[in-house]
Amino acid sequence: MSELKLLQCRVDGRYDIEECLSRGSYAEIYVARDRAATDERFRKVVIKALNVLLQGYQDPDLERTLIQNFQNEAIALDRVRHINIISRLGHGTALDLNGTAFHYIVLEYLGGGDLSALSRSQPLGFTRAMFYLQQVCSGLSHAHECGIIHRDIKPQNLLLTADHETVKIADFGVAKLEAAEGAITRVGTNIYSAPEHNPLVQTGHLDTSSLSTHLLTPAADIYSLAKTGYTLICGVSPRRFAHETINELPESVSVKPWAGGLLRVIERATQARPADRYQNVQDFWDDLSDIALPQTKPLEVANTPATITQDLSLETAVVTEAPPKPRFETSKELQHEATGNGAARPRIVVPPTGKQGTVVASNVASMQPGRLTVPVISDRAIAAPNLATQKRATRLRAILISVILIIVFAGMLLATRNYIRSRWSQQPTDETTVVGREAVTITDLNLRAGPSREEDQVGLAESGSRVKVLTLGSNVNWCEVQVLQHARPKDDPTSRDRGWVNKKFLKFD
């Protein structure tokens, strides 16, 4: 594994990285402070960095695929600008502290967590769940109208604003840009994704011989949307209905007056055959919202719940203008561009207000895959009217390259020295002063039953979690800690928050 070195540093001279939220297979998510933001709403942002070396190796074909998917995510987000869909604020290409090149996109920061975490912490109730579902339906319906199929709708990808009043669809990393284009590929999360998303799963309903010609439709998202609605309304995961039609509700919900109507809607939306489901989100929402209405008298405006309406074209705030379309390149393309006659590439693309800002340009360094080597001056900057001028220009270029190399090398040495000194100074010199202090974990740490790696694991302190040292063991390298704040939701809610860890993986305040 080769993680990017971005914590406590400034990206592109603009984004101050504050913490790492998560790491996926090939992407790392960071919270950052945008020093150039003119709108306070976008002062805090999310940096999604593509790291093709995260698995420890680099394959050219895989790199091209990952970069294309990364660029498609940015294009999809720009095409579906909507109040209930997360907004892209910018993009760029930069180098981390080790000189590793990476592409990134800048997204708006939503401080309310996701609907999965919210529903686990407290029951939403029928009215509140419907309030959120209407917003999700509004955003998803708009995406489908724009030709985008999300392919991974689930509570974890539905993010909330800090006041928990607005929900936004996130993570368009596997979105399909054209609804009627291309064969189906395996994506999504098993318990929420439609059967056609997982062609290798033997469902008994899907004809695997026709997969090559079977095209994805909005009905796939409606399937995932229905199972998401089941989770939010019923308060339980539809795990036992993975790749299956939901044909019953939990006992605690089945006694509600609206239970029968809810089951009819969800059962139709989760049929195995796409043609048997709802074909558009508006029809799904029309039937879903009907179950909340009085059934013994005509609907009157005065009796309509304030938070539930049938129209998905909500009156919303103005959505900011999309930033320029990104073009992310492979390591080989970057190298070719830097050594050829191409123009310098921009490093900072757009301010988060959505308006075109000042473009800061710099020559792109010649790169071996993922690494910074020798910056090269564009040949266009050296016009050669005659042979003498060419020779003089060549000598000047050689001198300039040498100077730049010396400066870059000296800068890397200085940065390394400062980094090592800062890390060293953060460790307490007196071992007895550790007890009672708070620290932050620098990696995922297993909490042990005793001060040894041989002891049983009793819990987990995720990378970035805040802990407090309770006592030292006989081996002073080990200490017992209490987790004060987890960096991400616990995978096992029953696991303990107290246990023994090695001090070398703690960063003390």
Q: State pLDDT tens for residues 298-312.
A: 555 544 444 566 667
* Alpha-carbon gap, residue 191 to 143, rounded angstroms: 22
In sequence order, the 6+-apart residues with CB closer than 8 A to the CB of 187 are 151, 152, 174, 193, 197
Residue 440's nearest CA partner among 16, 47, 18 is 18
Q: What is the pLDDT of residue 309?
A: 63
Number of independent structural domains in the chain? 4
Q: Are residues 259 and 184 in the same domain?
A: yes
Query: Is residue 324's pLDDT more than 60?
Result: yes
Q: What is the pLDDT of residue 419?
A: 81
SS3 56: coil
Q: Are residues 159 and 272 in the same domain?
A: yes
Are 70 and 86 in contact by the 8 Å Cβ rule? The answer is no
Q: Are residues 264 and 170 in the same domain?
A: yes
Q: What is the pLDDT of residue 242?
A: 87
Q: Are residues 276 and 388 in the same domain?
A: no
Q: What is the pLDDT of residue 319?
A: 65
Q: What is the pLDDT of residue 120?
A: 87
* Alpha-carbon gap, residue 189 to 203, rounded angstroms: 15
Q: Are residues 266 and 225 in the same domain?
A: yes
Q: What is the pLDDT of residue 429?
A: 47
Q: Is residue 41 part of a domain?
A: yes
Q: Is residue 438 part of a domain?
A: yes
Query: Is residue 34's pLDDT more than 70?
Result: yes
Q: Domain containing 123: what range?
A: 115-303
Max avg pLDDT among 286-295, 296-305, 481-490? 481-490
Q: Which residue is associated with the tokens 């081996």?
A: 475
DSSP string, 388-421: HHHHHHHHHHHHHHHHHHHHHHHHHHHHHHHHHH
Q: Are residues 255 and 392 in the same domain?
A: no
Q: Which CATH number fits the domain that encloses residue 90?
A: 3.30.200.20
Task: Compute the CA torsion angle 385, 391, 397, 399 (nearest 10 deg).
Answer: -150
Task: Tell me which H or E stretch contains 481.
Answer: strand 478-485
When pLDDT is cut at 50, 70 and 90, the band that residue 65 belongs to is confident
Q: Are residues 412 and 297 in the same domain?
A: no
**For residues 173 and 495, which has the higher predicted lDDT (pLDDT)?**
495
Q: Is residue 203 part of a domain?
A: yes
Q: Is residue 372 part of a domain?
A: no
Q: Are residues 394 and 472 in the same domain?
A: no
Q: Is residue 353 part of a domain?
A: no
List, for residues 373-421, the tens digit of each pLDDT value: 223 333 333 333 445 666 777 888 889 999 999 999 998 998 888 888 7
When pLDDT is cut at 50, 70 and 90, the band that residue 338 belongs to is low
Q: Which residue is associated with the tokens 């080989």?
A: 332
In sequence order, the 6+-apart residues with CB closer than 8 A to the CB of 503 are 434, 476, 477, 478, 479
Q: Is residue 491 part of a domain?
A: yes
Percentage of the residues of the chain whose pLDDT score is greater than 70 = 73
* Alpha-carbon gap, residue 348 to 355, rounded angstroms: 13
Q: Which CATH number fits the domain that encloses residue 491?
A: 2.30.30.40
Q: Is residue 295 part of a domain?
A: yes
Q: Which among 368, 391, 426 is the end of a domain?
A: 426
Q: Are residues 268 and 129 in the same domain?
A: yes
- Average pLDDT of the chain to the nearest whole number: 79
List, for residues 66-88, the tens digit of each pLDDT value: 888 888 889 889 999 999 999 99
Q: What is the pLDDT of residue 361?
A: 33
Query: Is residue 209's pLDDT more than 60?
Result: no
Total residues found in the chain within this entry:
509
Query: Which one-letter amino acid corresponds to residue 121?
Result: S
Q: Is residue 44 part of a domain?
A: yes
Least confident of 15-24, 165-174, 194-203: 194-203
Q: Are residues 342 and 486 in the same domain?
A: no
Q: Are residues 84 and 124 in the same domain?
A: no
Q: Are residues 331 and 461 in the same domain?
A: no
Helix axes 259-269, 218-234, angle to 10 degrees: 150
